[in-house]
Amino acid sequence: MSKRIDIIKKEVLSNNWYTLRKITFDYTAKDGSVQRQEREAYDRGNGSTILLYNKEKGTMVLTRQFRMPTYLNGNADGFLIEACAGLLEEDNAEDCIRKETEEETGYRIANVRKVFESYMSPGSVTEILYFFVAEYEDDMKVNDGGGSDEEEDLEVLELPFDKAIEMVSTGEIKDAKTIILIQYAQINGLLDD
């Protein structure tokens, strides 16, 4: 831990869906002065996300689902097109994403490749997101997907790679993790012949 940070107090502000804490700390600046500061941090755990792609067909599998925070912030219908993702819970990142992929998309994948990890909203959320890619084939489809419980209501989308890139440009895809994975695929030639 940093010698420049001295945590003075942690308060739980909310422990409903996940945990929101208020942290009071002393921060030692570059010039040696100490500043008392307060920040709120939302702890929802860490997660995994994956881009499923089929090089032969030039397609990728994404999902579409309702996201209340986007609705509250001007997304007219509240739906987002996203890469499959889930919280780690007790799983490691790789096991989590295999399980989430089957639950959300219906594809049972074996070979996943971690490409990087990232803090997605480091000013307010503690989460690290682990990014994966995996090839899929039609014969890997074991169910319809759509989520594992009544609170998940996902639509599974198989999109041509070019269409997904266009949807990022037009704003039809606005989810950061999905944009990052699509750009990763584009930069690294995952769907090039």
Over residues 10-24, the mean pLDDT reads 93
Phi, psi (deg, nearest 5) at residue 106: 90, 0
148 — pLDDT class (breaks 50, 70, 90): low
Q: Given this model, what pLDDT does residue 152 score?
A: 72
Rounded to two decimals, the pTM is: 0.91
Structure token digits, residue 88: 């780690």
Please tell me which residue, 17 or 184, carries the higher pLDDT value.
Answer: 184
Segment 94-135, tens digit of pLDDT: 999 999 999 999 999 989 999 999 999 999 999 999 999 999
Rounded Cα distance between 137 and 56, Å, is 9
Nearest to 85 by CA among 99, 71, 75: 99
**Widest CA span in the chain:** 62
Nearest to 133 by CA among 167, 87, 184: 184
91 — pLDDT class (breaks 50, 70, 90): confident
Domains of the chain: 5-43 (no CATH), 47-187 (3.90.79.10)
